[in-house]
Amino acid sequence: MSKVFELIAKEEKRQNETVELIASENFVSENVRKAVGSVLTNKYTEGYPGNRYYGGCENYDELENYCREMWQKVFDTDYHVNVQPHAGSQANYAAYMSVLKPGDTILAMDLNNGGHLTHGSSVNFSGKMYISHFYGVDDNGFIDYDGVPARLREVKPQVVMVGASAYSRIIDFAKFREMIDAYNAEFGTDCKMIVDMSHIAGLVAAGEHPSPFGIADIITTTTHKTLRGPRGGMIFCKPELARKVDSAIFPGSQGGSLMHVIAGKAIAAEEALTPEYKEYIKNVVINTRVMCDKFIEMGYDIITGGTDNHLFLVDLSKTFPNVTGKQVQDKLDEHGITLNKNCVPKEARSPKETSGVRIGAAAMTTKGWKPEDFCKAAERIDKIIREELA
């Protein structure tokens, strides 16, 4: 047997035997995997439906259009959608490129406060191509909405990026829109609002989080987190930006599209439209809250004191000042529990060490875990931290 299949078998075993609490991961259906592993990987389809650079694309045209229509249905929107981004980072790359020139300014959530690398980090293209400034969270860990108007006036951005990788509360998209509109009115500018809903897209689809549609100019997302599709990205935009967004993806930043992945995205959209998916997302939110409450009951500090979505952040800095997020991550790995270290607001340690961990319930809810299973896992984690690390 090829070494590759040996490794895939080992990974399948690992996935079956470990407790997966990484907030950005999930388990896709057999059908998504079938689509992604299909013959569609054999074909070059540069361009868009009806306008390809290669012959033989008729099935792909129909598939890509179907995928696009299905995602519009999922989010009940007439926003234009591009399903070609290879990943969330590529979606953000093209979203910026469609409305910014290199050297323009973006205002986004600070990485240490829960933002993402592609939201202006100095080690990422977004912080190298654009001048990036940040808003953050207040002393309780909630987005500091009150500080945003002053930041807008100070840094005069052309784009405000709204969204996060590690934020456990509802994001008030309408409030951001109001603040951006007021700034544009005061300065006669045309600052665009981009929402990166990668983490919460599944909650938006199921009505468990307010929707950014009708509010943001551009919306980007990954497809593999709470949306439970294959690894990939998508961009939605107001119809007037469609041409710019499409050309920022192809030919702007990508070549041939990954049609096998687009097929997987279409299956994920079909699944997201079912009542079972809505029930699944409801359960994700309940399970996250129950597990978070269990940690609070056991004396842990939770950033913002709770959660509204599929994840929460444990701050170890006061309860276990000598224990780092990395130590917890590594120790739990030894016990077959997977989660990730995470910075806490006003983090004193480096991002490689951190004083917190991020915990999510989307993956184990897919595996059928109930609230009591999440409570037991919280107790196990507490025991390991107390007995083996503190």
Ligand X SMILES: Cc1ncc(COP(=O)(O)O)c(C=O)c1O
Min separation Cβ 374 and ligand X, Å: 22
Q: What DSSP assignment string belongs to 374-387?
A: HHHHHHHHHHHIII
According to the binding rule CB under 6 A, does residue 113 interact with ligand X? Answer: no
> How far apart are alpha carbons 199 and 221 in whole angstroms?
8
Nearer to ligand X, 199 or 209 (CB): 199
Nearest distance in Å: CB 56, ligand X = 29
Residues sharing a CB contact under 8 Å with residue 316, sequence separation 6 or more, in sequence order: 300, 301, 323, 324, 325, 328, 344, 355, 356, 357
Contact between 24 and ligand X (CB under 6 A)? Answer: yes
Site for ligand X contains 358 (CB under 6 A): no
Question: Does residue 257 interact with ligand X by CB under 6 A?
Answer: no
Q: Three-state SS string across 249-300, please? A: HCCCCCCCCCHHHHHHHHHHHHHHCCHHHHHHHHHHHHHHHHHHHHHHHCCC
Nearer to ligand X, 196 or 208 (CB): 196
Looking at residue 47, its amino acid is G
Residue linked to tokens 């099935």 = 59
88 binds ligand X (CB under 6 A): yes
Using CB atoms, what's the residue nearest to ligand X?
88
Which residues share a beta bridge with 82?
Answer: 235
**Using rule CB under 6 A, residue 202 touches ligand X:** no
Per-residue binding string, ligand X, 167-196, x by CB under 6 A, is -----------------------------x
Q: Of 351, 344, 353, which is closest to residue 313 (Cα–Cα)? A: 344
Partnered with residue 222 across adjacent β-strands are 233
> Nearer to ligand X by C-beta: 196 or 217?
196
Q: CB of 45 within 8 A of CB of 33?
A: no
Q: What is the smallest separation between the CB atom of 141 and ligand X, expressed in angstroms?
A: 17
Q: Which residue has the tokens 């050309």?
A: 247
Residues in Cβ contact with 352 at an 8 Å cutoff, skipping those fewer than 6 apart: 326
Q: Is 209 in the site for ligand X (CB under 6 A)?
A: no
Quote the crossing angle between the two packed helices 242-249 and 88-99, to the nearest 10°: 130
Q: How many residues bind ligand X (CB under 6 A)?
A: 14
The residues annotated as belonging to the active site are: 44, 46, 196, 222, 225, 231
C-alpha span between 295 and 378 (Å, rounded): 6
Stretch in the footprint of ligand X (CB under 6 A) among 73-81, 88-96, 296-304, 330-338: 88-96
Choices 87-95, 168-176, 270-278, 282-290 (CB under 6 A): range interacting with ligand X: 87-95
Q: How far is the CB of 376 from ligand X (least distance, A)?
A: 28
In the complex with ligand X, the residue whose CB is nearer, 24 or 112, is 24
**Which of 120, 141, 163, 202 touches ligand X by CB under 6 A?**
163
Query: In this structure, are strands 159-163 and 105-109 parallel, antiparallel, or unpaired?
Result: parallel
Residues lying near ligand X in the complex (CB under 6 A) are found at: 24, 87-89, 92, 116, 118, 163, 165, 196, 198-199, 222, 233
